[in-house]
Structure 1
Amino acid sequence: MKGVPTRAVLFDLDGTLIDSAPDLGAAADQMRTTRGLASYPLERYRPMAGAGARGMLGVAFGITPDAPEFDALREEFFVTYERCMFNTQAFDGVPPLIEALVARGLRWGVVTNKSKRFTEPLTQAMPLFASAGAVVSGDTTPHAKPHPEPLHEAARRLGIPSEHCIYVGDDERDIIAGRAAGMRTVAAAYGYMGAQADATRWEADALITSPGELLKLLDSA
C-alpha cells in the first residue's frame, strides 16, 4: 500500500460496511412463502447478497433479468425489502474502524451501486454514517460501478483528489472501479464474494479478511 499519502477511505456498502444479507434474504424468502413455496435458509441467500435484487430473485425463483416476469418481481422485492431493511447491522469491527479513521483525521465515505431509494434512508437511520463525508449511490451519477465516475464524485464531495483515496469493496467491480479512478484498492474478503469468486485474481493492492486489518495496512503505508 505504498504510494501517495492516504487522505480518505471510501467503502462499498453492502458486504463491506453492513451485513444486509439477512434483510435481503428475508425479503426474497417472504416472496417465496407468500406463494406457498418452502422457505430457504439464510445461508442459501447470503453468497448472492452482493448482487441485490438480481441475486436474491435468482436464488428464490431461479430466474434471470431476461425473464419476462423479472421486472414485476424486482419491484415487488424492492417494496418488500423497504419494509425490513432497517434491521441491517454493521459488520463486527466496522464501528471501531470508522472511529479510528476519524481519530486519525482521515475523511471517509460510501460509494455503492445500491439505489438512493434505499441508501439514503438506511444510512440516515444508522449512527455509523453520521461522520461520513460522502454517500454516493448507484443512481447519484449517470454511471454505476465498475465505472469510475461514482468514485470521482465521492472524492469531489470530500474535497480530496482521487489519487489520495483508498477504495475498499467486496466485489470485483469495486476493484475495477477503484483502479480506473486512480485509487489504491482493497478487497474485503469477508463480504459477499460468492462461492466462485477468487479475490486474489482481482489485482487489488491488498486484501483483508476482517475490517480491522485495514488499519494495519494504513499503518504500513
Structure 2
Amino acid sequence: MKAVLFDLDGTLLDTAPDFIVVLNQLRQQEQLPPLPDETIRGTVSNGSRALVTLGFNKEENDPAFPGLLQRLLDLYLAHLAEKTTTFPGIESLLDNLVDNNLPWGIVTNKPEAFTTPLMEAFTHLPPASAIVCPDHVSKSKPDPEPLFLACSQIGCAPAEAIYIGDHKRDIIAGQKAGMPTIACGYGYIDSADNPANWGADHLVNSANEIWPLLEQHYF
C-alpha cells in the first residue's frame, strides 16, 4: 500500500492568519504595536516558542517567557480555526487521493491539544488515516519516529509513503525515514531560507502541482 503524509501548518492548512491575530493581540496587551503579517507568517512553522521570541524579543531563559507563551497558547486555542483555511489546491488533492484509494495522513509537531480541535473544524475534508502529534512519540521531527508511526497506523512501508512539508525539518525527517519528499515553497518559509536547498526530491510552489507530480512519479 502507498500513502501520502503531510505536515500540517504551512502545508495542509494556512493557520498563519489566526497566529497573526493572536500574536498581535498579545502585543497590544503589552502596549506594543502590531508586527507585519508577513513577518509573523515566516515564523509560524517554527512553533509557538519562536513566535514569543519574535513578538517580544525574549529567549526561553527569560523569566517572562513562560507566562507570555501560555497567554499566547490560550489565545490561540480560543481563536482556533477562525481564519484558518486549506491552501488552494489541497481539497482537490485530497479528493484525488480518496478517489484513487490512496490513504493520507498528517505528521505534525503541533500538540494534540491544538491539532484535534483544528481538524474537527475541517470535517468537510476526507478523514485522515493517521494523525501523529509530538504527544504520540518520544522524538519529534526532524526525527523520523513520527513518520514511522504514521506508516504503522496506515499499514504501509515507509518506503511506500511520501512526505510533504514546508520546513527543512520535514524533508530531513522524510529522508531519514527513507521516503520520497516534496518541499512546499508556498508554506511558511523564513525570508533567509530557500527550500530549493533542502534536498527534497521535488519542490512545488502551489498545492495544485502535487497531484500531477504524484501521478507522474509515484502512482
TM-score (norm 2): 0.94
Between 1:26-35 and 1:55-64, the stretch displaced more is 55-64
- 2:202 counterpart of 1:214: no
Residue 168 of structure 1 contacts residue 186 of structure 1 at CA under 8 Å; is this kept in 2?
Answer: yes
SS at match of 1:114: coil
Residue 124 of structure 1 contacts residue 130 of structure 1 at CA under 8 Å; is this kept in 2?
Answer: no
- 2:160 counterpart of 1:164: yes
Amino acid at match of 1:28: L
Equivalence for 1:3: none
Equivalence for 1:15: 10
Moved >3 Å (runs of 4+): none
For residues 130 and 142 of structure 1, what CA distance do their matches in structure 2 show? 28
SS at match of 1:212: helix
Cα shift at 1:129: 4.5
- What is the aligned counterpart of 1:200 among 196, 199, 217? 196
For residues 178 and 81 of structure 1, what CA distance do their matches in structure 2 show? 29
Equivalence for 1:149: 145
- 2:44 counterpart of 1:67: no
Instruction: From the superposition, tell whether residues 59 and 71 of structure 1 become closer, same or farther in structure 2 (CA, over 3 Å).
Output: same
Residue 6 of structure 2 contacts residue 106 of structure 2 at CA under 8 Å; is this kept in 1?
Answer: yes
Amino acid at match of 1:112: T
Note the residue ranges of structure 2 that are not aligned, 5 or more in a row. Answer: none
Residue 162 of structure 1 contacts residue 183 of structure 1 at CA under 8 Å; is this kept in 2?
Answer: yes
For residues 25 and 64 of structure 1, what CA distance do their matches in structure 2 show? 20
For residues 125 and 66 of structure 2, what CA distance do their matches in structure 1 show? 31
- What is the aligned counterpart of 1:76 among 71, 78, 95? 71
Equivalence for 1:53: 48
Instruction: From the superposition, tell whether residues 49 and 114 of structure 1 become closer, same or farther in structure 2 (CA, over 3 Å).
Output: same
Residue 25 of structure 1 contacts residue 56 of structure 1 at CA under 8 Å; is this kept in 2?
Answer: no
Equivalence for 1:41: 36
Amino acid at match of 2:121: A
- What is the aligned counterpart of 1:140 among 136, 141, 151? 136
Note the residue ranges of structure 1 that are not aligned, 5 or more in a row. Answer: 1-5
Task: Count residues in correspondence.
Answer: 216
Q: Percent identity?
A: 38
